[in-house]
């Protein structure tokens, strides 16, 4: 397992592009991204659990019913959610993209991120889709263009990729992602697109993805608000030439590890670049009686506004960590909880058996002055562990999200 460059174009046979088509008037940022495989792919998706969800999600569910896809078209600037005629518009965009690429409409997946509740026009797509198809290219630069076109309040574009071997054949898996922070001036979205040249059946691809997100993307939180448009899509085109994965064999385990490696790296990128964030906060819970409790406790800790404010203030206020652990739902014992704060500057044990553990405030201040903080929680009540990723709560978060829409 080796980290490589190339993002969504690291895998063989994947082209990408990002162009400006004018979804939002008076905005010049690129706003239309296209990812296309040279050949048909097995594909899978996971979506927000919000009861209010974007029209593109309705269309993706339809288009992925056969477990196949070949291209992903995505716009930023308008979420196409709670907007009149949204589903028809999403279908039209897929049809236009398919026509331009010479593919079937059902092979196109679609995503939108931006303002909620505003009708979207087809006009920008009429201009943009031919341009995006024309701009398609292989390689790192093309992936960057696509990654930039899907950005909203992200401060940098996010790409990760790995190289790995399946039955002796070199394969690649890469991804681009956009902000788990909420869009200025409006609605949140996490979008993540993964491509791989590994050959894997759509059933196994779907299984790998849905298992992986439970411990990765579902464990990120910037502010606890679950977007209406969160989407993770994966396409596998098989061009690496490995024997197709159709069952839970050794290759499947390697594939899952590749997926997990890229996912965790992107979780850290997304959480650390949350709106207004100055620090990445990782909470690792061990000694939990069940995996579910380990996940819930770690996520509850990184979601606490009190803890997030304390991290912004670089305050080793472990009582807030205990408090968040204590209000986590589930059946577990808190009385033996140990807490350690850790960063590049060192490690400080602040809580032993749910009570104060004498520590150096000087060292704690040094540890918390770093940009990446790990909160290690040992419940001493079992053997399961899990992690979650978040960020601090800052003046800038309030500023960004308190701004007027106009």
| Binding residues for its own copies (CB under 8 A) | 49-53, 81-84, 115-119, 182, 185-188, 223-228, 303-306, 309-310, 312-315, 317-320, 322-328, 332, 334, 351, 354-356, 361, 393-395, 397-406
State how far the alpha carbon of 106 is from the alpha carbons of 32, 41, 68, 204, 394, in Å: 19, 12, 8, 21, 43
Name which of 165, 163, 161 is nearest 250 in CA terms: 165
Exactly one of 74, 189, 196, 228 is catalytic; which is it? 189
Nearer to its own copies, 326 or 346 (CB): 326
Contact 184/56 with Cβ under 8 angstroms?
Answer: no
Catalytic annotation on 189? yes
- CA–CA separation, 116 and 26 (whole Å): 18
Q: Which residue, 320 or 374, has its beta carbon nearer to its own copies? A: 320
DSSP strands (E only) in 48-197: 68-78, 108-115, 158-166, 169-178, 191-196
Question: Shortest gap between Cβ of 272 and its own copies (angstroms)?
Answer: 18
Output b/e per residue, 248-276; b: 16+ Cβ within 10 A: eeebbebbbebbbbbbbbbbbbbbbbbbb
- Strand ranges inside 197-275, DSSP E: 231-236
Least distance between its own copies and beta carbon 87 (Å): 13
- Cβ-based nearer residue to its own copies, 344 or 398: 398
What is the C-alpha to C-alpha distance for residues 146 and 113, in angstroms, rounded to an integer? 14
Name which of 167 and 333 has its Cβ closer to its own copies. 333
Nearest residue (CB) to its own copies, 263 versus 317? 317
Residue 304 CB, nearest approach to its own copies (Å): 6
The CB-of-58 to its own copies minimum distance in angstroms stands at 13
Closer residue to its own copies, CB minimum distance, 125 or 318: 318
Q: How far, in Å, CA of 73 to CA of 275, rounded?
A: 25
H-helix segments, 222-350 = 250-272, 291-303, 305-312, 318-326
With contact defined as beta carbons under 8 Å apart, do 177 and 192 qualify? yes
Cα dihedral 215, 231, 270, 273 sign: negative
Contacts by residues 303-309 (CB-CB < 8 Å, ≥ 24 positions apart): 303/221, 303/224, 303/390, 305/393, 307/281, 308/281, 308/390, 308/391, 308/392, 308/393, 309/392, 309/393
**Residue 222 CB, nearest approach to its own copies (Å):** 9
Minimum separation from the CB atom of position 337 to its own copies (A): 8
Residues known to be catalytic? 189
């Amino acid at each position: 397992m080796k980290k490589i460059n190339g993002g969504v174009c690291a895998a063989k046979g994947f082209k990408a592009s990002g162009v400006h088509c004018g979804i939002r008037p008076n905005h010049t940022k690129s706003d239309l991204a296209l990812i296309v495989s040279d050949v048909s792919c097995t594909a899978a998706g996971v979506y927000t659990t919000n009861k209010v969800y974007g029209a593109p999600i309705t269309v993706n569910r339809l288009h992925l019913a056969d477990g196949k896809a070949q291209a992903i078209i995505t716009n930023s600037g308008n979420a196409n959610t709670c907007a009149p005629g949204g589903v028809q518009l999403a279908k039209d965009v897929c049809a236009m993209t398919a026509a331009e690429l010479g593919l079937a409409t059902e092979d196109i997946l679609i995503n939108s991120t931006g303002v909620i509740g505003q009708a979207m026009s087809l006009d920008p797509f009429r201009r943009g889709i031919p341009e995006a198809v024309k701009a398609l290219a292989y390689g790192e630069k093309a992936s960057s263009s696509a990654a930039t076109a899907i950005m909203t309040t992200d401060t940098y574009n996010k790409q990760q990729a790995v190289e790995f071997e399946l039955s002796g054949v070199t394969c690649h898996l890469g991804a681009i992602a956009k902000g788990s922070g909420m869009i200025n001036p409006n609605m949140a979205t996490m979008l993540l697109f993964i491509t791989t040249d590994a050959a894997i059946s759509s059933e196994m691809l779907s299984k790998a993805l849905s298992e992986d997100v439970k411990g990765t993307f579902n464990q990120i939180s910037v502010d606890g608000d679950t977007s209406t448009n969160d989407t993770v899509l994966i396409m596998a085109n098989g061009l690496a030439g490995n024997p197709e994965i159709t069952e839970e064999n050794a290759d499947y385990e390697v594939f899952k590890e590749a997926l997990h490696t890229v996912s965790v790296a992107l979780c850290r990128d997304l959480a650390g670049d949350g709106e207004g964030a100055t620090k990445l906060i990782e909470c690792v819970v061990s000694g939990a009686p069940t995996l579910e409790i380990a996940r819930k406790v770690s996520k509850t800790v990184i979601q606490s506004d009190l803890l997030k404010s304390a991290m912004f203030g670089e305050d080793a206020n472990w009582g807030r960590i205990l408090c968040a652990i204590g209000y986590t739902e589930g059946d577990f014992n808190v009385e033996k909880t140990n807490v350690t704060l850790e960063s590049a500057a060192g490690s400080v044990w602040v809580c032993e058996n749910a009570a104060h553990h004498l520590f150096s405030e000087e060292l704690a201040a040094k540890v918390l002055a770093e940009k990446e903080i790990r909160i290690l929680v040992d419940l001493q009540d079992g053997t399961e562990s899990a992690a979650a990723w978040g960020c601090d709560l800052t003046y800038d978060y309030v500023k960004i999200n308190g701004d007027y829409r106009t």
